[in-house]
Amino acid sequence: MDRSMVAAFVFTILVFLAVFFQFCLVAGLPWGRLTMGGRHPGTLPSKMRWAAGLQALLLAGLALIVMSRAGLVLATWRSFTKSGVWVVVAICVVSLVMNLVTPSPWERRIWAPVAFMMTVCATVVALGL
């Protein structure tokens, strides 16, 4: 197994952790202080719970792109993922920056390291290292 495949697996594990977290928010768990700048401590309002659900779907799509680019799933997507994986890298960089500048100390402690690792892994896959 090459580095791209390992990086794709690590990326996917991190995505599934984030997706699990998002689905917990959708289900009404009182973890609002851990997300979206900590503006909604406790259970998120209904609109924010919908946003968490959409974010979970987006994250799952990013994992599919990374896994496909690494040659692990959806071989027919390979031509699309050549440029699509760079979109994933860009989204990860934006996520990293947002998690570093958030007013929520919990997001900086929990999600900034996750976003950093996702950025590194997506970049390894994009470069084919």
Structure confidence by residue, pLDDT tens digits, 72-120: 888 787 788 888 999 999 999 999 999 999 988 998 999 999 999 999 9
Query: Angle CA(73)–CA(77)–CA(80) in degrees, nearest 5?
Result: 140
**Amino acid at position 10, single letter:** V
The answer for residues whose C-beta is within 8 angstroms of residue 31's C-beta and 6 or more apart is: 21, 24, 25
2-15 tens-digit pLDDT:
899 999 999 999 99
66 class by beta-carbon count within 10 Å (0-12 exposed, 13-18 middle, 19+ buried): buried
Q: How far apart are CA 35 and CA 21, in angstroms?
A: 10
Domain ranges for the chain: 3-127
What's the pTM?
Answer: 0.89
Residue 60 to residue 57: CA distance in whole angstroms: 5
**What is the distance between the alpha carbons of residues 85 and 74, in angstroms, rounded to a whole number?**
14
